Amino acid sequence: MNKSFILYATIFIFISIFLFKGLYYDPKKIQSPLLGKSFPQFKLPDLYSNSLLSNSSFLDKKTIVNVWASWCLECEREHSYLIQLSKNEDIDLVGINYKDDTKDAVGWLSMRGNPYRVIIKDSLGDLALDLGVYGVPETYILDENQIIQFKHIGPIDAQIIQEKMLPLLSK
């Protein structure tokens, strides 16, 4: 057999396998290197009061941390689900307002409702960078010890809450 034919056939097979695997790749299932690790240390202002928040601002209970912005269209899509989650007294809901104008963020929440107990103002995106945020919205679940248990990229919905978040929150 011709050596060049064997070479081209081998290359074709490897490329085909690579492309076939790509058909089943879900970009929302990016594994965070922070899973199982502590929430990053921070000192940033509160959105409303400008008082300094830090890791001590978290309560000793399971916490949902949601990264959002007023300019984010997908954040609006998930907002009603966050409002529902905020009614559960067994969990805490903390917002990280990402690279947003304070006036816009406060106005956005006054129109739609504020589900968060506190909102960390991350104007420069430093905390989001430490978290490995790809874009907004992103949602994290922390355990009572501020260990990251879950990360979801994109808007949450009823299915994600039921199948992925609630089982972790009820443990």
pLDDT of residue 149: 96
The C-alpha angle with vertex 88 and arms to 38 and 121, in degrees rounded to 5, equals 50
**Residue ranges of domains in the chain:** 32-169
Average pLDDT over residues 154-160: 96
Average pLDDT over residues 26-53: 85
pLDDT of residue 13: 81
**d(C-alpha 2, C-alpha 85), whole Å:** 65
Supply the DSSP symbol for 38: B
The pTM of this model reads 0.82
pLDDT of residue 94: 98
For the chain, what's the residue count?
A: 171
pLDDT of residue 37: 95
Please report, rounded to a whole number, the percentage of residues in the chain having pLDDT higher than 70: 92
Name the token pair of 26.
């879900």
* Cβ contact 50:40 at 8 Å: no
Is the pLDDT reported for residue 31 higher than 70? no
Phi and psi at residue 101, in whole multiples of 5°?
A: -80, 130
Range in 12-21, 79-88, 112-121 the model is least confident about = 12-21
pLDDT tier at 10 (50, 70, 90 boundaries)? confident
What mean pLDDT value characterizes the chain? 91
pLDDT of residue 6: 79
- pLDDT tens across 73-93, in order? 999 999 999 999 999 999 999
Instruction: Give the CATH number of domain 32-169; options: 3.20.20.100, 1.10.287.90, 2.30.30.90, 3.40.30.10.
Output: 3.40.30.10
